[in-house]
Amino acid sequence: MHVIAVPSVPKRTDEFSSADEIINSLLDLRPEKWGLPPFNDWIEGTLPIDPWFIGGPVIKGFGRGSKVLGIPTANLAAENFSDILSDHTSGVYFGWAGLSKRGIYKMVMSIGWNPYFDNTEKTIEPWLLHGFDEDFYGEELRLVIVGYIRPEANFPSLESLIERIHEDGRIAENALDLPEYAKYKESPYLRNPLQEGAATGGNEAEQEFI
């Protein structure tokens, strides 16, 4: 019998060294590695998921997106989404982003502890795949997350991390043109304004579109 471990507590993988493989979540299970038929639901390097919806004002993050990585992220306050963060595994996801005063854009995002920077808390860090001329702190941001790309990972160098983030961006950019994902660009959730100062999260918006 082969044993695949899925630790429920982060940063404790050393406790499962006797397992044949340690994976971040069951989203990362590849049965073909163990002589079983592969799953057939992956599409061009992405996995469709039941969409989930989060929104709130853009806040200042750690400052490393633009300054260190050259990749500006539109951060949301993690404390507003503690239930969602606990329900969803860490990793790289993608979907659509709606900015209340600008429009709708493709986006890729990380959820987790960012092992390279060794975060002490789980964060949500979306990267809108568009060039903006100015910051938009405080502006209302709504996200519809529709697919999964890969588990969270550490990297041996900053350069390799940046290269991988850009690769994630390319994967998301192409995948969101597929009908499976492109249809969510029309979700009313991306356009309906939030009440001032509010934040939303979960699947309550699903009935608006799905």
Provide CB contacts within 8 A for 82, sequence distance 6+.
none
How far is residue 160's CA from residue 198's CA, in Å, rounded to a whole number?
37
Alpha-carbon gap, residue 173 to 156, rounded angstroms: 26
Among 77, 3, 53, which residue's Cα sits nearest to residue 201?
Answer: 53
Mode of pairing for the β-strands spanning 140-150 and 200-202:
unpaired
Give me the active site residues, please: 125
The secondary element (H helix, E strand) that includes residue 107 is strand 103-112
